[in-house]
Structures are given as structure tokens and as C-alpha cells.
Amino acid sequence: MWDFSTEPEFQAQLDWVDEFCRTEVEPLDLVFPGAAYSRDAKARALADPLRQQVRDRGLWALFLDRELGGPGFGQLKLALLNEILGRYRSAPVIFGTAAPDTGNMEMLAAYGTDEQKTRWLYPLMDQKIFSAFSMTEPQGGSDPSLFLTHAVRDGEEWIINGEKWFTSAGARADIIFVMCVNGMFVVPRDTPGVHVAEYPALHNHIRYVDVRVPADHLLGPQDGAKVLAQRRLGGGRIHHAMRTVAQVKLAFDIMCERALSRQSHGKVIADHQMVQEAIADSYAEINMLRLLVLWTAWTIDNSSTRAARTQIAACKYTCAKVLREVSYRALHIMGSLGTTDLTPLQAMWSSAPTMAIADGVDEVHKVTVARNVLRGYQPHPGLWPTEYIPAKREEARKKYADLIAADPDLAAWADAAHLRGAWGVASPGQPQRRQAPPANA
């Protein structure tokens, strides 16, 4: 079992990451926003030395196993790292852990052929290319049973037709993983017939019109898209939750600093009870989310993403809720400044609805959790529930039948309990009055 401790060696790494992000990554973000994602030579000249420092520390692509070029530290340590990286916009890409590439790399690592890994996985790991995941459809949302995008085999090619909605980073991707009803295909974005709409700007609307790709661009087995997508989305959801922990901790820091700095009605606002309630509720919610995420990461490391699917689903909708609630409280405590783009709070709060919809809407994940949890239970036999006290007491009397038969005082005590239905009754020889229930009742 995870013992809530971090090895001193890895804690030293985390301490380095914290200082590195504050002194190197954040200044780059502030002065040259987007440089870490840019293909411009001057921008890469600014970001690549930072990437190299990460590689030199052995922290590049932390989520990947050693044979794939990562350090093989697993999901728990990635979660601890993401508690820092998630505070800074460019930190995930500087550390080789940015979405949507991470999920796509995991899919390639699990299902790609050697040739596919050489062509796409290793360049993705080195950020020589970038990728997108094209799943959601306008008429079907994220429900694969309603998807229409399909591929038809034509000799040594596949011809893809369909329409995808909210393909994050699709416009800037080099390759797009397109989920069809009959398979998962890797499609270079510049392939004829790939039409990226002008809007939305970030989560792109793409039409695939007679898009031809070679036969070897099918990833995994034919008709295996759902299996691949679940593999990809499971990892993506837990990684989103990890980064959300960082975001809500940042909002909490902003909230607490402001509470101690601002005065209202003759005292600092930290002394007002409603502000204290906001801080107390946020503290509890953040730590509950954090422990849920770390427990889920630990479970993945010690079993598999599939085995942790119920926990991952719970992380997904919980992180969206906590992000919404904590960022909103922080925004209110900040006051009018919180509604502007001069602090991270407005962007954080406005991203909460996206978090609740991306990678499957929260309602779907709640259904998943409920169904999976209920598989561990059975309906009670007969009319009464298992914890119906009179029936349990009647069954328990059988254990003491001999004592009751031999001792009239014990028999009277047991009979009184049976008749009165009370947890506490007088002991033998004492007045028969209703007692307070035991402390552990």
C-alpha cells in the first residue's frame, strides 16, 4: 500500500522542478507566450535548452517506460510531478508530458508496429512533431455507438469520410489520430481532404472528405478503435486530474494570500466567517481530490489502467467539480480583479465547463462509477434490508439461546430489547428505562 511518503531522492527532484518552473519556465511563458509550442527556430532556441535540462535530470516523458525513452517512474510519481507542472502553461510541454500528445504516445506504444513507432512515436517523444485526437462528432458527441466517420479499404489505401468536432490542437498537429467506426487511423494533417474549420480556434472542427491514407496507417486491429480509445482516454483523464490538482492549489494560494491582504469593514477579510468558510471548504475539497488522484495513480502502477477505470472515472468528474468550486471562491475573494485576465483565476474558472465535458461528459462517468460499484452488491433477500435491526436481533438471539434459557435475568433483558427495539436497555436488575445509545451506535 502507498504509505504517503516520497523517497528523498525523488523529493529532491520535485524540489528542483519547483524552482526550475518558477525561475525558468514561468518567465519564458510571461515574456514569450507560446514559445514552448512554437515551430519557429527562434522560439525553439529559447525552449530547447530548458527541455535539455529536464532530460539531463532524467525527468523527460515521465509517464513512459524506460524502453520507450522515459524514466519508467509510473503514474504516482507523474502525479506528484504534475502537482507542480500544472501551475504553469508551458511546463507540461517542456517536460514532455503535454496533452494530447501523451495519450497518443501511449496508444502508439501499446498498439503500434515497430515501423509506426519509428515513424511517429519517437518523433512525438522528441517533439519534432505534434499530434491531435479526433474522436467527438457533432451528431454523436462522445458516444461511439452514434459515430458515422468510417474508412473504406481501396487496394493499399483507406478512404476516410466523416466529420469530427472538438479535436483539440488539430489545426497545429502534424498527425491526427482519427477514430472511425471500423478502426483507428493515423492521418497526416496535410493530407488532401482534411478540412480544418476556422473556428473553434483551439478545439477544432474537422471534415474528412475522401481522405486517402496508406493501409499501414491503421493503428491496431481493424474494428479495434473502441479498445484503443479507452486505453488512450483512461490515461488522458487521470493526467487531466493530476494537472487540475495543481490548478486548484494555485487558486487556493491566491485565495489565502488575498484573504490576508485585503481589508473590509474594519478588518482583514480573512477574519470574516464567510471567507473562512470558503477557505475551509476549499482546503477539504482539494485534499480529497488530491488523495483520490494519488490513490488512483498508485492503483494504475500496481495493476493497470483498466483495473482502475472506476477510480479514473471518479477522478474525472471530481476534478471538474473541485476546479469549478475552488476557482469560483477564489475569484470572489479576489473581487473585481478576479474577473479580469490579470490573474489566472478567470481563465481557470472558465475552463471548468470544458473539463466537465472533455474526454466524456461528467454524467457519463458518474453512470460508469455507479454501475461498476453496484456490481459489488446484491439485492437483499426477502422483504427486509440486511441492516433491519429486528431481524438481525432475532438471528443473534440464537447465539445466546442457551444462556437465555438458563438465566431469567438475561432472558428478561433480551426480551426487553426485542420488544422495545432500543439499542440501549437497562442491564439486569436495573430499572427498565430507555438508555442513550452507545457512542459507536
pLDDT in tens, 380-439: 999 999 999 888 999 999 999 999 999 999 999 999 887 776 454 444 554 444 444 444
3-state SS class at 324: helix
The grid coordinates listed for 412 are: 428478561
Q: How far is CA 285 from CA 204, 276, 282, in A?
A: 33, 14, 5
Question: Percentage of the chain surpassing pLDDT 90?
Answer: 76
Mean pLDDT of the chain, nearest integer: 91
Question: Residue type at 419?
Answer: L
Cβ–Cβ under 8 Å, residues 216 and 116 = yes
Q: How far is CA 89 from CA 20, 28, 85, 201, in A?
A: 14, 10, 8, 17
402: how many CB neighbours lie within 10 A of its CB?
9
d(CA 213, CA 166) in angstroms, rounded, equals 22
pLDDT at 73: 84
pLDDT at 423: 52
Phi–psi pair at 185, nearest 5 degrees: -125, 140
d(CA 30, CA 386) in angstroms, rounded, equals 60
pLDDT at 431: 44
Quote the distance between the C-alpha of residue 247 and its chain's center: 12
* Distance in angstroms between the alpha carbons of the first and the last residue of the chain: 30
Quickly list DSSP for 179-196: EETTEEEEEETTSTTEEE
pLDDT at 2: 57
pLDDT at 434: 43
d(CA 180, CA 137) in angstroms, rounded, equals 10
The candidate with the shortest Cα–Cα distance to 320, out of 360, 280, 284, 291, is 360
Question: Percentage of the chain surpassing pLDDT 70?
Answer: 94
pLDDT at 1 over 60: no
**Domains and their CATH numbers in the chain:** 8-98 (1.10.540.10), 129-219 (2.40.110.10), 228-374 (1.20.140.10), 382-436 (no CATH)
pLDDT in tens, 305-336: 889 999 999 999 999 999 999 999 999 999 99
DSSP H or E run through 374: helix 362-374
Q: What is the 3 state secondary structure string of 377-400?
A: CCCCCCCCCCCCHHHHHHHHHHHH
My answer on whether omega of the bond before 200 falls inside 30° of 0, hence cis, is yes
The grid coordinates listed for 184 are: 483507428
pLDDT at 438: 44
pLDDT at 267 over 60: yes
User: Which pTM was predicted?
Assistant: 0.86
Phi–psi pair at 108, nearest 5 degrees: -65, -40
Higher pLDDT, 92 or 428: 92
pLDDT in tens, 139-179: 988 888 899 999 999 999 999 999 999 999 999 999 999 99
pLDDT at 135 over 90: yes
Q: Which are the contacts of 211, defined by CB distance < 8 A and separation ≥ 6?
A: 159, 160, 161, 187, 191, 192, 193, 194
Instruction: Provide the β-strand partners of residue 211.
Output: 160
Counting beta carbons within 10 angstroms of the beta carbon of residue 109, is it exposed (0 to 12), middle (13 to 18) or buried (19 or more)?
A: buried
Can you give the length of the chain in residues? 441
157: how many CB neighbours lie within 10 A of its CB?
15
3-state SS class at 169: coil
pLDDT at 191: 98
Q: How far is CA 399 from CA 202, 208, 273, 393, 441, in A?
A: 68, 72, 53, 10, 21
pLDDT at 441: 40
pLDDT in tens, 183-222: 999 999 999 999 999 999 889 999 999 999 999 999 999 9
pLDDT at 418: 78
Cβ–Cβ under 8 Å, residues 193 and 164 = no
Phi–psi pair at 62, nearest 5 degrees: -60, -25
The grid coordinates listed for 419 are: 420488544
- pLDDT band per the 50, 70, 90 thresholds, residue 265: very high
- pLDDT band per the 50, 70, 90 thresholds, residue 28: very high
Beta pairing, strands 218-219 & 203-214: unpaired
3-state SS class at 21: helix
pLDDT in tens, 40-76: 999 999 999 999 999 999 999 887 777 766 788 888 9
The grid coordinates listed for 225 are: 478503435
Q: Which of 62-76, 243-257, 263-277 has the lowest mean pLDDT?
A: 62-76
DSSP H or E run through 325: helix 309-334
The candidate with the shortest Cα–Cα distance to 208, out of 141, 145, 135, 313, is 135
- pLDDT band per the 50, 70, 90 thresholds, residue 8: very high
pLDDT at 296: 95
Q: Which are the contacts of 420, defined by CB distance < 8 A and separation ≥ 6?
A: 434
pLDDT at 437: 44
The grid coordinates listed for 138 are: 457533432
